[in-house]
Amino acid sequence: MTIQWFPGHMAKARREVTEKLKFVDIVIELVDARLPLSSRNPMMDEIVQQKPRLVILNKGDLADPRENQKWRQYFENKGFAAVIVNSHEGKGINQIIPACKTVLKEKRERQQARGIKPQPIRAMIIGIPNVGKSTLMNRLVKKNIARTGNKPGVTKSQQWLKAGTDMDLLDTPGILWPKFEDQEMGRKLAVTGAIKDNLLHLDDLTLYALEFLGKHYPEDLKKRYQLTDEDLALPTVEQLLLITKKRGFRDDYDRASAMIIQEIRNGMVGRFTLDRYDEMRDELDD
C-alpha cells in the first residue's frame, strides 16, 4: 500500500508559514499523541529553525498513558517545552499559555528592562491534518471560530484569533510532506485519520491495524471484538473475516473494515500509541 498526498493548498501553506514566521514570538507545534514522531512534519524543523517552540501532544486521552510520558520526556530532552492535552474535552488546555510564557520568559524580561510594555504573545499553530488544530484553537479562544472536522484538510487558510488578553493565535492549514519515504509512517498516519480514506484501501489498513493491536494491545482487541487467544493466533485476514461475521456483516468486509478503523480512531478499542518509544529509540536523535 503506497500512500502519497500533497494537495496544492499545502504547498502554498508551507510558503505562507515561512513568510509569517517573523511576525510570531513562538511556534506551537501540534502532534498526535498516538504517533508523536510520525505526525511531525520533518520540513518544520528547517522552516521554524531557532524560533521558540512548544510541542503539544494532542489527543492524549486516546494514547497509551505510559507512552505519553516517554514522548513528553523525549521532546523535553530535545530542548522543547511539551504538554499533553485533550483539546476535544478541554483537558490540559490551561497549561498552554503558562508554558508559552515560560518559554518566552527571558525575552519578555529583556523587553521589560528596555521599557517595552508587555504585549499578547503572538503564536503560530502548525501541524499535519487532523491533529486537532481547529478544536484546540476554539478551546483557547473560547468560541467556535475555527472550523473543525474529523477529517484532514478542513482548515485551508490562515487567520488570527485572540485567546483572551494573553495571546494572539495564527492558525495555519495542516501540512504534510510531499511523499512518505517510509511507508510504515504512512500507514500509521492513515490509521489515525491524517490521510483521506478515499485515497486508501481500508481492508489493507485494517489488517495492518489488527496486526499492531494484536501484538501490543491484545487484551483490548479481544475485549472489543469478543476474540479468544486462539482467534488472535489466526492470520489477520481470518481475524477480519471472523469479526465481520460476529458483527453480522456477512461477507461485507469493506463495511467491517470501515467500522474497525473508525472504532480504533475513536478509542473504542482502547488507548494505543503507534509510535513505540522503546522500539524507535535507535532512530531517535536524543
Residue ranges of the binding site: 58-61, 86-87, 130-135, 174
CA distances from 274 to 67, 180, 229 (A): 10, 16, 22
> Cα separation of 158 and 146, whole Å?
10
Alpha helices in 21-163 (DSSP H): 43-48, 65-77, 96-103, 105-113, 133-141
> Cα separation of 282 and 285, whole Å?
8
Residues in binding site for GTP: 58-61, 86-87, 130-135, 174
Across the beta sheet with 81-84, the strand order is: 81-84, 53-58, 26-32, 121-126, 167-171, 159-163
Inter-residue contact 133 to 147 (CB < 8 Å): no
| 142 residue type, one letter | K
